[in-house]
Chain A
Amino acid sequence: MPAAFQRRPSSAIRAARLLALITAFLAFLAPSALCEHGPAPVVTEKTAGHDAHAAHGKGLPNDAPVLFHIGPLPVNNSMIITWIVAIGIIVFAQRATRRIRSSREAANEVPSGAQNFWEFLVESLYNFLGEILGPKLVKKTFWFFATIFIFILFTNWFGLLPGVGTIGWSVPEDPGSPHIFNHVTRPLFRGGNADLNMTAAMALTFFGWWTWWAIRENSHGKKGIGGFFAGIVGVLKHLFAPKGKESGFMKYFLILVFAAVGLIEVVSILFRPVSLSFRLYGNVFAGENILESMMQLVPWLGWLIPVPFYFLELLVGLVQALVFTLLTSVFTLLICEHEEEHQEGVAAHH
């Protein structure tokens, strides 16, 4: 593993982790407090809800239902899954890397168990991203892409567990009917990425970091405030300035062409966060809807028909995590690579 990962975490990172743990614990406590006041939680099978669904003619709602409020902050069921997965990953990573961080000798042992799995995951991600981004850029940006991959992957897979979308609160719409509790209107859990807020937050976070990386990489090694402005000029040059060496009339013509291309490029850059968030949300949301409608397709075969679709969703969960990571890393590469370095890189590949 690269030496960068064996450093002890700084106190700021520790404080941030502690804060994340505390908020997560609050999230666990709050639903149980709600149970005392709200309608009684009802556990129903997904297969049992078919008649209620058929009557309403709709599957999953587009927005994640809000369960409760922490102060002014509404908390919905997708956020709860997000927190559970985040805590799971943090705790597992801390456990798995405990021996590496304990002493220098332990870091040189042959790993086993959880540490082995975690090192395999991180190291294969590092090699994979290194092939795309190149050895220099991957060192600076690996933390983001690896985190986003691991997090999206496990959030997607966690959403496939039984109990997600089937345990929750139900509002009796027709008090006379015997099936009043068949349809869970406010499930306790919902796939974390089946909430557009979550995917948009990740895409916008990436957009912020992308801007920062673009400025830093295009400042050509200058530091401080001067480097910042040099970086902004570098980014603008990267987008709008003509490439290649032409002279005479062609030069002025190319300036026009590259300015127009730069404008188109800016529009495409502005659409990236939108398409990134819609893609992930659309895939996960559609997947949940497919599973639900497959369970209701033939009522007495509801246990069999979704099985191939569960495998499909396992694949989609992996592919979408990969796609998000790949696209964000390629976007970063596109703005950060320099012409001369790129040619060297290409030459080194062959």
Chain B
Amino acid sequence: MDIPIAEILSNLHVGLAGLGSAIGVGLIGSKAAEATGRNPGAAGAVRNVAIIFAALAEGIIFFAIYLAK
């Protein structure tokens, strides 16, 4: 209760990180679906790349959670 501003800031920081990684994963998903639609033969390769980059984008939120406060 000493410094409520720190608590607010840390919540904000996690929230913003969540927003950022959600936007990132959404963009990757939409582009992956688009790429698969254009070239269905490359579906496997596109899926692997998409999963890797989705995982990297998603990783931001975990750093944010553990670095908060």
Interface residues of A (CB under 8 A from B): 131-132, 275, 278-279, 281-282, 319, 322-323, 326-327, 330
Contacts and interface: CB of A to CB of B under 8 A. Distances in A.
Given A278-B63, A279-B55, A319-B51, 5 more contacts: A278-B66, A282-B61, A322-B51, A323-B54, A326-B48
Given A275-B63, A278-B66, A330 B58 contact: no
Nearest to B66: A278
Contacts of B52: 323, 326-327, 330
Contacts of B55: 279, 323, 326-327
Contacts of A275: 59, 62-63
B41 interface: no
B57 to A, nearest CB: 11
Contact of B62 (A278, A323, A327): A278
B4 interface: no
B22 interface: no
Determine chain A's interface SS by DSSP, over half rule. Answer: helix
A130 to B, nearest CB: 12
Taking residues whose C-beta sits less than 8 angstroms from the other chain, chain B's interface range is 10 to 19
Contacts of B44: 131
Contacts of B65: 282
19 contacts: A131-B44, A132-B48, A275-B62, A278-B59, A278-B66, A279-B55, A279-B58, A279-B59, A281-B62, A282-B61, A282-B62, A282-B65, A319-B51, A323-B55, A326-B51, A326-B52, A326-B55, A327-B52, A330-B52
Contacts of A319: 51
A281 B44 CA distance: 27
Contacts of A279: 55, 58-59, 62
Main secondary structure of the interface of B (DSSP, over half): helix
**When A and B form their complex, which 8 residue pairs have the shortest distance between CB atoms, in order from nearest?**
A278-B62, A282-B62, A323-B55, A275-B59, A279-B59, A326-B52, A279-B62, A326-B51
Contacts of A281: 62
A240 B55 CA distance: 27
Interface in B36-64: 44, 48, 51-52, 54-55, 58-59, 61-63
A275 B56 CA distance: 9
A323 B59 CA distance: 11
Nearest to B55: A323
A323 B51 contact: yes
Contacts of A282: 61-62, 65
Contacts of B54: 323
Nearest to A280: B62
B48 to A, nearest CB: 6
A330 B65 CA distance: 26
Nearest to B45: A131
Contacts of A322: 51
B32 to A, nearest CB: 13
B52 to A, nearest CB: 6
A319 B58 CA distance: 12
A322 B52 CA distance: 9
Nearest to A349: B45
Contacts of A326: 48, 51-52, 55
A326 B66 CA distance: 24
A281 B59 CA distance: 11
Contacts of B58: 279
B20 to A, nearest CB: 15
Contacts of B61: 282
A226 B24 CA distance: 46
Contacts of A323: 51-52, 54-55
Interface string B8-51: 00000000000000000000000000000000000010001001
A83 B9 CA distance: 41
A281 to B, nearest CB: 8
A131 B58 CA distance: 24
